[in-house]
Amino acid sequence: MHNVVVGTSGTTADEVIAVARADARVEISADALAALAASRAIVDALAAKPEPVYGVSTGFGALATRHIGPDLRARLQRNIVRSHAAGMGPRVEREVVRALMFLRLKTLCSGHTGVRPETALTMAELLNAGITPLVHEYGSLGCSGDLAPLSHCALTLMGEGEAEGPDGQVRPAAELLAAHGITPVELREKEGLALLNGTDGMLGMLIMAIADLQRLYTSADITAAFSLEALLGTAKVLAPELHAIRPHPGQSVSAAQMASVLQGSGLTGHFQQDEAPRVQDAYSVRCAPQVAGAGRDTVAYARLVAERELAAAVDNPVVLLDDEGGGRVESNGNFHGAPVAYVLDFLAIAAADLGSIAERRTDRLLDKNRNHGLPPFLADDAGVDSGLMIAQYTQAALVSEMKRLAVPASVDSIPSSAMQEDHVSMGWSAARKLRTAVDALGKIIAVELYAATRAIELRHGLTPAPASVAAIAALRKAGVEGPGPDRFLAPDLAAAEAFVREGKLVSAVEEVTGPLV
């Protein structure tokens, strides 16, 4: 996708990702420019009246009781941006900042914020020039939206502060704008406030997390199938009629995908090989579709929330137009991040549980008392070789970290602005920890992939499923070595992680199974 056109009716998740991750070019539609002009006319008319209007001719937050005269209003709008650009800590990732800027532009183009068309056009110019404001980790309480992160973006729009250029170098924003022929914005009534008031940062991170988790849940179905195969488990538990009697849609999808991966396997169901024949597999194997499926359904709900937010105009106050061409400016609470914060936390919980069950399968593969005839730790010469012992330690450490990250941020609230803003969502914090959790989950799945594929290859005399054969061949081609004496494992694990994260595992399996979801 090379061009994204922003209109008055919101945007899509695919468009957000195209701008954030693929540097798609942004255009503003003619109807959006007309809506911007119409709402601006309402603000200008209200600004000319003697009565105070919040955000137009008053202070902000706890200072909203002061009426601001016309001679100070431009200064008021500059000052809110400067004072609110108070973030601290590490820089936020480029893709997050681009998503945040694009989503704020989406709301501006709704025609409910009262900014001038030229302000929105300048924000589009920044995105198209590849100029990325420096945004910091800490500063947002998720209400009134992501104030500090958005303020750092607005500061760049004004030609102040620092930003990263398309070459990756950090320079003064004024220099970068000048180098790209962009005129800094001189803010007018309400514009400073309109640039800051939104859930754009947490929403952008939610959208990218959903995309990443979709791929990881598919990858987890695949690695769970590999583990079942390596443990000589039974695929009978994946029968569609079993999952039809508990009709959670995600569960049925995961079971069907595992069954598809295992189609044609000569390893499944060899319970008779044990001295004490098994009646059923352990929960981590048998319940894989139930756990992954519940996570899939959680992702589906999060996507519904994200779609609603993508169609929203989040600002305070907002401009409401009437049928006669007039309108009014109304204060509201739509900037509160609770709807987004809840699902961000919910996803962190689901992701932690998926990581936990994957680690349990890995541990079972390595334990000679439970892996049904495989060597201890899948080692070449156990005792001389340690095999994958410490790879599982690393996986366990990641799982433990994910459990800590699953503690909800949205149940917290810390009052601010002299108790005017006395309940906040902490949605930005929920989003930041979810990003860390998603990264950890990719590593956990990679370790299971590494262990399960090695275990399958150690099942001499039995024929794996064609999908397993294809995945193992692609994994080895990607530089991840198979069974053998101990070696430096970190590079292999990093290569396995890249194989998962870049979608190569899913693609390799789909060559046999057809499309997976």
Characterize the bridge pairing of strands 162-164 and 170-172.
antiparallel
Q: What separation in angstroms does the CA of 321 have from each of 105, 220, 327, 331?
A: 19, 49, 4, 14
Pairwise CA distance, residues 43 & 45, whole Å: 5
**Length of the chain, in residues:** 517
**Is residue 54 annotated as part of the catalytic site, yes or no?**
yes
From 105, 133, 86, select the one nearest 24 (Cα to Cα).
105
Among 491, 505, 398, CA closest to 452: 505
For 57, list phi and psi in degrees, rounded to 5: -135, 30
- How many CB atoms are located within 10 Å of the residue 83 CB? 11
Query: Six-digit token pair at 368?
Result: 């000679």
Q: What whole-number distance in Å separates Cα of residue 147 and Cα of residue 257? A: 42
R_g (Cα) of the chain, nearest Å: 27
**DSSP per-residue codes, 242-303:** HHHTS--HHHHHHHHHHHHHHTT-SSTT-GGGSSS--SS--HHHHTHHHHHHHHHHHHHHHH
Tell the burial category of 485 from Cβ atoms under 10 Å away from its Cβ (0-12, 13-18, 19+): exposed
Strand partners, 416: 421
The residue from 54, 138, 301, 450 that is catalytic is 54
Helix pair 13-22, 200-230: axis angle to 10 deg: 90
Burial of 426 (0-12, 13-18, 19+ CB in 10 A): buried
**Token pair 């275990």: residue:** 455
Location of structure tokens 């204060």 = 331
DSSP secondary structure string for all residues of 357-371: HHHHHHHHHH-TTTS
**HSE-CB for 31 with a 13 A CA cutoff:** 8
| Residue 430 in tokens | 């929920």
Alpha carbons 440 and 427: distance in angstroms, whole number: 20
For the annotated catalytic residues, the residue numbers are 54
